[in-house]
């Protein structure tokens, strides 16, 4: 069965620290990978997506993710987090339907 | 542009009762999705519509859950009878068309508590 896994469930960082959230997928075939974010009290929204091409994908608000095929990974990164990045982050993927990971709650301390 | 609308926002019912959720997608979006998000988990796709036809309902517990999108616009998701394990946030999303190339836009969700 296809799956997407996130190993960090809770992350606490201070402002200006660098962020990396892990995401691994387990399926073959066409790779469709996404990162979604849910800010407190807001809807889920798309941060970035990868289908093919350049494995380094840039998204909104300074986020980027790197697709590493050999590691089945699609980790999310940000060089310097802000307090406003406090949110829950979901990795998602799939070949014929969306599969979401369990999410990572990020808290950024001012 | 108006977003995806859902109602109610919150619902508390007792087990064995029935409940219905409503979703109005973004105008012009042909594809509509219903997800179930249990606390501590990611959203799980329950059903996907393309216009008023079902594309995927493989994870919909059909003995108690039903969904329809009669005119290819609004959709309702019903649970009858509800169980304790149905307590979750039910998310509706829509996209211009199916597949992964078109972004999904999510609504605010309906938080269901089954007592």
pLDDT at B2: 82
Residues of chain B above pLDDT 70, percent: 99
pLDDT at B91: 98
Average pLDDT, stretch B72-85?
Answer: 96
pLDDT at A95: 86
pLDDT at B72: 85
Average pLDDT, chain B: 95
d(CA A60, CA B29): 23
| Residue among B86, B109, B92 nearest B13 (CA) | B86
Task: Determine whether the interchain pair A102/B108 forms a contact, defined as Cβ–Cβ distance below 8 Å.
Answer: no
The structural domains of chain B, ordered by start, are: 5-114 (2.60.40.10)
The answer to whether A65 and A90 are in contact (CB under 8 A) is no
- Please, which residues have CB within 8 angstroms of residue A30's CB and are 6 or more apart in sequence? A51, A95
Chain B residues contacting A via beta carbons under 8 Å: 3-4, 33, 35, 40-45, 48, 56, 91, 93, 100-101, 103-109
- Please, which residues have CB within 8 angstroms of residue A54's CB and are 6 or more apart in sequence? none
Average pLDDT, chain A: 94
The correct CATH number of A3-109 out of 3.50.50.60, 3.30.1330.40, 1.10.3720.10, 2.60.40.10 is 2.60.40.10
Average pLDDT, stretch B34-50?
Answer: 95
Nearest CB among B33, B44, B106 relative to A43 is that of B106
A37, β-bridge pairs:
A45, A89
d(CA B59, CA B78): 15
Q: Where is average pLDDT lowest: A55-64, B8-17, B95-104?
A: B95-104
pLDDT at B60: 96
Task: Determine whether the interchain pair B43/A100 forms a contact, defined as Cβ–Cβ distance below 8 Å.
Answer: yes
Looking at residue B103, the DSSP 8-state letter turns out to be: P
Residue B71 CA from chain centroid, whole number: 16
pLDDT at A30: 84
Nearest CB among B4, B42, B103 relative to A100 is that of B42
B1: confidence class by pLDDT, cuts 50, 70, 90: low
Token pair of A94 as six digits: 């799939």
Whether A41 has a pLDDT exceeding 70, the answer reads yes
The answer to whether A43 and B43 are in contact (CB under 8 A) is no
pLDDT at A67: 96
Nearest CB among A97, A100, A103 relative to B48 is that of A97
Q: Min CA distance, A69 vs chain B (Å)? A: 19
Whether B26 has a pLDDT exceeding 70, the answer reads yes
End-to-end CA distance of chain B: 37
With vertex at residue B78, the alpha carbon angle to CA B76 and CA B79, rounded to the nearest 5 degrees, is: 165
pLDDT at A29: 81
B70: confidence class by pLDDT, cuts 50, 70, 90: confident
Whether A103 has a pLDDT exceeding 70, the answer reads yes
| Residue among B1, B8, B3 nearest B76 (CA) | B8
Overall residue count recorded for chain A in this entry: 110
Best A37, A94, A97, A102 residue to mutate vs chain B (most B CBs within 10 Å): A97
Whether the bond between B8 and the residue before it is cis, its omega within 30 degrees of 0, is yes
């Amino acid at each position: 069965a296809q799956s997407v896994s996130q190993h960090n469930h809770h992350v606490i960082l201070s402002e200006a620290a660098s962020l990396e959230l892990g995401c691994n997928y387990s399926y073959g075939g066409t790779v469709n990978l996404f990162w979604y974010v849910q800010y407190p009290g807001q809807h889920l929204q798309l941060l970035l997506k990868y289908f093919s091409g350049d494995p380094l994908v840039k998204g909104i608000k300074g986020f980027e993710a790197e697709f590493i095929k050999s590691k089945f990974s699609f980790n999310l990164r940000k060089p310097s987090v802000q307090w406003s990045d406090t949110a829950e982050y979901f990795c998602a993927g799939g070949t014929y339907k969306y599969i979401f990971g369990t999410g990572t709650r990020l808290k950024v301390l001012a | 542009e108006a977003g995806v609308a859902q109602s109610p926002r919150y619902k508390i019912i007792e087990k064995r009762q029935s409940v219905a959720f409503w979703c109005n997608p973004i105008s012009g979006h042909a594809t509509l999705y219903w997800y179930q998000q249990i606390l501590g988990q990611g959203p799980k796709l329950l059903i996907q519509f393309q216009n008023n036809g079902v594309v995927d309902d493989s994870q919909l517990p059909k003995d108690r859950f039903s969904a329809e999108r009669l005119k290819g616009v609004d959709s309702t998701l019903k649970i009858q009878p509800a169980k304790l394990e149905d307590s979750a946030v039910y998310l509706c999303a829509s996209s211009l068309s199916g597949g992964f190339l078109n972004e999904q836009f999510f609504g605010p969700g309906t938080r269901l508590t089954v007592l």
